[in-house]
A and B are shown apart, each in its own frame.
Chain A
Amino acid sequence: MLEITRYELERRARGTVVLSVLLSLLAVFTVAFFPSVQQSSEALEQYIENLPPAFRSAFGIESFATVEGFLATEFYQFGWVILLGVYFGYRAGSLVAGDVEDHGIDLWLAAPVSRGRLVVERYLALVPVMVAVNVAAYAVVAVAIVAIGEPVPYRDLATVHVLSVPYFLATAAIGLVVSVLVADESVANRVALGLVFTLFLVESLSLSTDYSEIGAISPTRYYDPTGVLVQGEYDLLGGVILCLAAVALVGLAVALFRRADIS
């Protein structure tokens, strides 16, 4: 079991390290900026007050007075919710479509491996990547906060990272469904990316309308770094919903792929 996952994971090892390093650098820069932000915090708070509510909720802007509030907006809302959320959707778009496009899938399908197993194991190979970037960023953020002499909100910080995994599982599952539907890797990548980003926009924009329920179809509704870091609200139910959605979408991808003609 999991031979396919292990194989795909090995191929991803270097990319995972690079991704972790880049995000860690982003974390360091963000935290390093905080002291100067704090100095002008009064003016910034006023600026935030005057931002349109939709904009504020889209970027999770709550407060720049604390390092948590600043990180929530500048690092987690941007880097995690948008960047990585879209990234995992994008990457998952390649999971099947790439091999179908270049016929690399033939050697897999010729082996005694069920299509369901192939899809699930490839999807699972993304999980360690999700864990790795979170562990790296958690450590780097904590160290950086200590370095600027602020208190580290260990528990909230850990929760933000833990709850991001179900979120990524969901966005990757969206990408996976696209990947089994589209037999062209770059198209699958872009559709998955566009879909995840659109769902993010739908959720953000719906909040300032009378139709905020529409945002419930978006994974971003169930993962809120600002809520965790600023208000200390842990949306555990949201995490469960994201996990269930991921399972359902992977199940859908398996069902679709089992019926697909690989020509």
Chain B
Amino acid sequence: MRVLKLTPDKCTGCLRCELACAYMQTGEFQPAKSVIRVSPFEGHTSYAPYTCTQCAEGWCMTACPVGAITITAAGAKDVLDDKCVGCKLCTIACPYGTMFYDPDTRKAFKCNLCGGAPACADACPTAAITYEEVATADWIGDFAHERAARVLAAR
């Protein structure tokens, strides 16, 4: 399946992905409603995007008590709004911190790969986010580890 491949060395921290994601997911240009999140490193001199890896277990999906999280044609785990009751069990079951909750709709939401045409990848001007046929991975762990090690060592 195609997944969001993240190449943090190419990320400029422009946050276009967050805006594109929030608009696609909720109709608002509101980074707080984005399910891809850009984190700063080294005192805001480098950045990396972070989002759901569409993990094999699907902890969110298996935890849902009403079967409201399913697998789409694109292979993404996605929340069915008409089934989700807003109990938040998925937010404690997902060990990656990539489940979200919308207090306005009282529903959980997450990266659903925009039905196979991810808005974040489209919006990224530097190809830090690409949509590719590759195995999912910890895309930014090494990048963050290296940069954090420098900062922590300097303390």
Does A pair with B? no
Chain A positions within 8 Å of B, measured between CB atoms, are none
Chain B positions within 8 Å of A, measured between CB atoms, are none
